[in-house]
Amino acid sequence: MNYFDLVPWIVFLPVLGLLLNILIGKRLGERGSSLVAFLASGGAFVVSVLQWLSLSAHPEAHIVKFAEWINIGALQVPWAFRVDTLSVTMMLVVSGVGTLIHIYAAGYMHYDVRYKGDPAAYQRFFIYLNLFIAAMMILVSGDSYLMLFVGWEGVGLCSFLLIGFWFNKNPDGSSGMENSNAAKKAFIANRVGDLGLLLAMFAIFTLMGSLSFDTVFARAEFINPSYILAITLFMLIGVAGKSAQLPLYVWLPDAMAGPTPVSALIHAATMVTAGVYLVARSAPLYSLAPAAQTTVAVVGALTALFAATIAVGQNDIKKVLAYSTISQLGFMVAAVGLGAFVAGMFHLVTHAFFKALLFLGSGSVILALERAHHPIDGDHEQHHEEPKKGHAFDPQDMRIMGGLRKVIPTTYRVYLIGALALAGLPPLAGFFSKDEILTDALHANPLVYALLTAAAFLTAFYMGRQVLLVFFGEPRSHAAEEAVESPPIMTWPLIVLAGLSILGGLINFPGLHGLTNWLEHTLGHEFAHATEFNLTVALTSTLLALLAIYLAWTLYGREPLKAKAADPLAKRLGSLFTALQNKWWVDEFYGWLIIRPYQRFAAFLADVVDWRFWHDWVHDSLIARGFRGLAVFLANPVDLGVIDGLANGLATGARGLASSLSILQTGYVRNYALMVFFGVVSMLAYLIFFS
Amino acid sequence: MEFFNSADLLHALPLIFLMSWATILLLVAAFARAASERIMPALAAAGLLLTGYFAARQFGNPASAFNGMFAADGFSAFITLLLVLSGLLAIALSSDYLKRMSLNRPEYYVLMLFSITGMMLMASAADLIVVFLALELLSIPLYVLAAFAQPEPRSEEAGLKYFLLGAFASGFLLFGIALVYGATATTSLTGIFIAAQSGLEQPLYLLIGAALILVGLAFKVAAVPFHMWTPDVYEGSPTSVTAFMAAGAKIGGFAALIRIFIVALPSISEQIVPVLWALTALTLIGGNLLAIAQNNVKRMLAYSSISHAGFLLMALVVYGQDAARFDVVASALFYLLAFIITSSGSWGVVIALEKQAGKGLEFSDYAGLGRTQPVLALAMAVFMLSFTGVPPTLGFAGKFYLFRAVLEGEYVGLAILGMLASLISAYYYLRLIVVMYMQTGNPKIHSERWLNLTTVGAAIGVVVLFFASEPLFDLAALALLHVN
């Protein structure tokens, strides 16, 4: 028994859900529309599980052709679903984590829409969320680069829509454009990446005459390796855009402007891992271009370390997680770059669990402070006061938190599990996946190993710092004292995710190699070799993590931060900490290098070229005035005099001719007969004398 | 030589059937007068429908009958269908109008059917004698119909004028036939063709005979300068007769012209084409120019009908070019179809506005129609645009195919002349639209069921069929002449 034919429903159930919410969402109310969205996403999860079950029995790839799409000469792209172990892994993660986040969001958005003063936005949120699930499913299930690209663009659109969900506000809730600017930034940075992916696709089609995976991989061997190198490097640009790698990562921290469930789903667990999936999917191409592989690995490792340093210096609870996400994506990218596709995918899955957990947990923290700051009496009363920019209460600032473990214990416990998993302490999920990456790195590229180990050390440090700042010590604000634990609809998904974060390591437990064997069916033995557990690596990283946590404790735990006090790290690191806080001034550097010159160029084009030259001089002076002069000339002497005269003359002439011809129409038969006679005579005369 | 056999009767079935049907109707009219006034339109329409059915079945089986005097081919079948269509439209326009004008005598429909029989015979005539017979058969009932409103003097005058001048023209036709016989010793169209191929002792006789035949038929289709009767007769006849005459007589005349010239006279095309050219040019210019000067809508439409005869003659000018010969027939047939529907519809509007004793026919009587009768005015506007040749109307498609055939025959000058004529025609067609929509007035109309149905249906058809022009033209292109 197999259920492969059901696979299109992974896309159509979410689409059905969003259509229902578009059409009758307002009438369903909050409960109804979130239920519809949940059922749509949950249904997709059920279908994914059915795919998994079917695939367990028949592990070879199944291609379900759903519809004709493009059929132009050599360009044949049907809408086909590819069900293999790799895509089903992604489907399970996307729909599984996605469904948990749908549940959480049903509770979270209830408060969020009220704090933002727009309860009507509730349905819109779930419409976007379902749309995202549908697009992500298209991305992971497509059987060709073009279908993948459709999903790729679709999730980019959803990301844009959801980052700018509160498009007329700043992240602190005041009116402004910062959220929509963040959305634009994400979109533009992603467009740069998309250009790379497009170029890669053009090259693939030109060289191999097809875009479907099997054909491309089969033909790749016969192509000049330098072309493959170009293709894979172009693809890397796409990966850097979507998965927030150097140098295009800058959009992801700003993307935290979106509601927290969005940060968890799109900007941590699923969409940003699309780049990792793309590299893993293109494993046969990358294996033909070792230079590209090395580049990918180095980019990933550099990103991992670079972002980890920035995370150390952040005070915003979500920004820390955002840079952490960039850093962890760096781990995955480095892994797939090294050819450790299984390790990369393994980390992708576990990271989806614990990073979703951390983001949702941070959402729970934020909401707890928000609700303490301005409680809502009853669910349906609308609460809204417009905060002033800069004076707004910022529930995301870790400096006003502290001591939360006592007031929101559930959130604290699950958050701690997530943080330890991220820090890579055994026996949590993060330990196993990170360890597998490090082991593979040690074998393949010591430089990458060194970078990643350093990043892992910093990871443990900043997570220790975060947990200590948020949950330990004394409350540093009134809101932190009064924080309110989130409702069960939000904590239950957290608990499930915490469980997954603990047990996730079993997926590819050393010695059992569950995921390795599973993915081997898709990647082949060559790319899915089992990594043996390396005690040295494991001990090193564990000790380093413990050391980092101890360091964090000495700085933030032994002597907890007081309200309005400076960060103790600032004293030790001095100007280096300022650099970390300011994210190494990369945004400013991009501003100086690209944005400001671009704006100056645009201003030049707009003011000087378009306005002064083109509008003022060419249009107004040259064309308009010249045309007016010509028009006056044409109108007065030419048109009125000559043309009108001619036309009127013609009309008068025609009428005159007509009436004079009418004179012939006497009404007398004899005259008519005479006319016929004349006609006949002239006709015959012509025939007789002229032909 | 066998006089005829049963197969011949079968080939002529549509004709024979309609003739018999009309005769029976005459008897019905004679013996059941009161009832026949009511049921006669329905009976006549039924007869036409059956005729159309028989004709449609003949499509694709070309045959010749009665010792080669009668041709039953795609061309005659298509013409018969066109005639059935115009006959049905004319009946629909007539039934209410005749009652309103107190002209409801059952003979009207019988005469109409007899005339249609003549028109059908025109399309099937493969012998000049049969052409003459057909011409008389089509004309004589028309003379009577023109005078049908007697004792109304204008109607009587119209009938008499038409008869006198028609007889005059018939004389030319007969004289032409005699000359052709003198030159070729035969009246069969194929025989004339063969004789002309094998060399003639007196080629001039053939040429002059052909010219005189042309005169006789040009009179019927109202080509300048043989058109003089048209405005007077069209204006004086009951409007429903005018509508029938404008469409039907033109179909018959052109059917005969096309068959005679293409089957019998391709050999003299070089000499006769300048004459045709001049005739066409005169008709185009004269018809359109004179239409401008009219203030009476009926007369305007009469001249308009003359100008459309000019457009149809354009197709005939090309008849000698091998490259264009298929398109000549097809484009002429298509143009006839477009003309029938547009013309019948526009006469329907005229009938709706006409009052007793020839009132309600001036341009000024149409002022304000756009406001008071938006549907009717819109229909009339559609007909005027179709006459002008503005897309999306059938008239545009007709002109398009026609000009294409002319250009295929490399008569660029003629095509330009046709364009100019269309341009002039816009002057008076648009004038009616301007009067309807931009001048104030309060016209009263007669709202009668069949009349409204015909008018609105024709307007819809003119627009909708435009989008089916391609298949319609292809159908017309199947209506080949059977040459043997």
- DSSP string across A550-568: HHHIIIIISSPPPTTPPPH
Place of tokens 């435009």: B466
Residue A382 confidence (pLDDT): 47
pLDDT, mean of residues B233-258: 92
Nearest CA to CA, how far is A677 from chain B (Å)? Answer: 9
Residue A546 confidence (pLDDT): 93
CB-CB neighbors (< 8 A) of B161 in chain A: 669, 672
Q: Domain limits at B380?
A: 6-477
Percentage above 70 pLDDT, chain A = 97
Task: Give the separation between CA B331 and CA B406, rounded to whole angstroms.
Answer: 10
Residue B379 confidence (pLDDT): 94
pLDDT, mean of residues A56-84: 87
- The lowest-confidence range among A26-30, A205-209, A410-414 is A26-30
Per-residue confidence band for A483, with pLDDT thresholds at 50, 70 and 90: confident
DSSP 3-state of B104: coil
Q: Which residues, other chains included, contact A295 with Cβ-Cβ below 8 Å and sequence gap of 6+?
A: A233, A236, A337
Is residue A162 within 8 Å of A258, Cβ to Cβ? Answer: yes
Residue A497 confidence (pLDDT): 93
Residue A690 confidence (pLDDT): 80
> Could you tell me which residue, A652 or A223, shows the higher pLDDT?
A223
Is residue B122 within 8 Å of B80, Cβ to Cβ? Answer: no
Provide the β-strand partners of residue A67. A79
Residue type at A455? A
Place of tokens 């038929």: B217
pLDDT, mean of residues A465-487: 88
**What are the structure tokens assigned to B409, written together?**
């025959």
CB-CB neighbors (< 8 A) of B424 in chain A: 654
Q: Would you say residue A155 has pLDDT above 60? A: yes
Could you tell me which of B105, B101, B124, B96 has the C-alpha nearest to residue B18? B124
Residue B381 confidence (pLDDT): 95
Residue B164 confidence (pLDDT): 93
Task: Give the separation between CA B99 and CA B103, rounded to whole angstroms.
Answer: 6
Could you tell me which of A202, A583, A166 has the C-alpha nearest to residue A386? A166
* pLDDT tens for each residue of B201-242: 888 899 999 999 999 999 999 998 899 899 999 999 999 999
> Could you tell me which residue, A647 or A19, shows the higher pLDDT?
A19
A665: nearest CA partner in chain B: B228
Q: Would you say residue A594 has pLDDT above 90? A: no
Cis peptide, bond prior to residue B151, ω within 30 of zero: yes
A656: nearest CA partner in chain B: B293
Residue type at B217? L
Rg (CA), chain B: 21
DSSP 3-state of B12: coil
Provide the β-strand partners of residue B398. none
How many domains does chain B fold into?
A: 1
Q: Which helix (H) or strand (E) holds B171?
A: helix B153-184
pLDDT, mean of residues A180-199: 92
CB-CB neighbors (< 8 A) of B226 in chain A: 675-676, 679
For B165, the closest of A654, A672, A679 (CB atoms) is A672
Place of tokens 């009665």: B66
Task: Give the separation between CA B419 and CA A548, rounded to whole angstroms.
Answer: 92
**Burial class, A633, CB count within 10 angstroms (exposed 0-12 / middle 13-18 / buried 19+):** exposed
CB count within 10 Å of CB A600 equals 10
* pLDDT tens for each residue of B342-392: 999 999 999 999 887 678 888 889 998 999 989 999 999 999 999 999 988
Contact at CB, B211 and A683, closer than 8 angstroms? yes
Could you tell me which of B211, B356, B215, B226 has the C-alpha nearest to residue B271? B211
Per-residue confidence band for A586, with pLDDT thresholds at 50, 70 and 90: confident
Residue A381 confidence (pLDDT): 44
Strands (E), A84-207: none
CB-CB neighbors (< 8 A) of B290 in chain A: 658, 661-662, 665
Put simply, whether B163 touches A (Cβ < 8 Å) is no
CB-CB neighbors (< 8 A) of B215 in chain A: 676, 679-680, 683
Put simply, whether B16 touches A (Cβ < 8 Å) is no
Contact at CB, B211 and A659, closer than 8 angstroms? no
For B289, the closest of A661, A664, A675 (CB atoms) is A661
pLDDT, mean of residues B148-174: 92
Task: Give the separation between CA B218 and CA B283, rounded to whole angstroms.
Answer: 10
Q: Would you say residue B83 has pLDDT above 50? A: yes
Test mutation, B202, B208, B212, B289, chain A, max A CBs within 10 A: B289
CB-CB neighbors (< 8 A) of B211 in chain A: 680, 683-684, 687
Contact at CB, B232 and A661, closer than 8 angstroms? no
A691: nearest CA partner in chain B: B271
* pLDDT tens for each residue of A268-307: 888 999 999 999 999 999 989 999 999 999 999 999 999 9
Residue A389 confidence (pLDDT): 57
**Does the structure's ipTM exceed the value 0.90?**
no
Contact at CB, A665 and B289, closer than 8 angstroms? no
Q: Which residues, other chains included, contact B25 with Cβ-Cβ below 8 Å and sequence gap of 6+?
A: B36, B40, B43, B44, B47, B106, B109, B110, B113
**What are the structure tokens assigned to B276, written together?**
């045709």
Nearest CA to CA, how far is A136 from chain B (Å)? Answer: 45
Give domain status of residue B385, yes or no: yes
* pLDDT tens for each residue of A360-385: 999 999 988 888 887 654 444 444 55
CB-CB neighbors (< 8 A) of A673 in chain B: 164-165, 168
**Burial class, A413, CB count within 10 angstroms (exposed 0-12 / middle 13-18 / buried 19+):** middle
Task: Give the separation between CA A97 and CA A111, rounded to whole angstroms.
Answer: 21
Contact at CB, A687 and B271, closer than 8 angstroms? yes
Q: Would you say residue B484 has pLDDT above 50? A: no
Nearest CA to CA, how far is A648 from chain B (Å)? Answer: 13
The b/e string for A161-189 (b: 16+ C-beta within 10 A; e otherwise) is bbbbbbeebbbbbeeeebbbbbbbbbbeb
**What are the structure tokens assigned to A550, written together?**
């101890």
Residue A377 confidence (pLDDT): 46
Cis peptide, bond prior to residue B374, ω within 30 of zero: no
DSSP 3-state of A394: coil
* pLDDT tens for each residue of A492-527: 999 999 999 999 888 888 877 888 888 888 888 777
pLDDT, mean of residues A79-88: 91
Give domain status of residue B14, yes or no: yes
Q: Which residues, other chains included, contact B403 with Cβ-Cβ below 8 Å and sequence gap of 6+?
A: B314, B415, B418, B419
Task: Give the separation between CA A533 and CA A537, rounded to whole angstroms.
Answer: 9
Could you tell me which of B231, B252, B302 has the C-alpha nearest to residue B132? B252
Residue A379 confidence (pLDDT): 43
Cis peptide, bond prior to residue A427, ω within 30 of zero: yes
Give domain status of residue B484, yes or no: no
pLDDT, mean of residues A314-328: 92
pLDDT, mean of residues A549-562: 86
Strands (E), A53-108: 62-72, 75-83
**What are the structure tokens assigned to A219, written together?**
């033909």
pLDDT, mean of residues B141-154: 91
pLDDT, mean of residues A547-570: 85
Provide the β-strand partners of residue A72. A75
The b/e string for B247-261 (b: 16+ C-beta within 10 A; e otherwise) is bbbbbbbbbbbbbbb
CB-CB neighbors (< 8 A) of A680 in chain B: 172, 211-212, 215
For A669, the closest of B165, B172, B207 (CB atoms) is B165
Task: Give the separation between CA A321 and CA A310, rounded to whole angstroms.
Answer: 11
For B289, the closest of A654, A680, A684 (CB atoms) is A654
Put simply, whether B236 touches A (Cβ < 8 Å) is no
* pLDDT tens for each residue of A309-320: 999 888 899 999
Question: In whole numbers, what is the pLDDT of chain A averaged over residues?
Answer: 88
Give domain status of residue B45, yes or no: yes
State the first-to-last Cα distance of chain A, in angstroms, to the nearest integer. Answer: 92
Provide the β-strand partners of residue A169. A175
Is residue A276 within 8 Å of A344, Cβ to Cβ? Answer: yes
CA angle A246, A305, A321 (to 5 degrees): 85
Contact at CB, B424 and A691, closer than 8 angstroms? no
Residue A67 confidence (pLDDT): 85
A676: nearest CA partner in chain B: B226
CA angle A680, A685, A689 (to 5 degrees): 160
Nearest CA to CA, how far is B288 from chain A (Å)? Answer: 9
Residue A378 confidence (pLDDT): 46
Give domain status of residue B482, yes or no: no
> Could you tell me which residue, A636 or A515, shows the higher pLDDT?
A515
Percentage above 90 pLDDT, chain A = 44
CA A685 to chain centre: 89
Rg (CA), chain A: 34
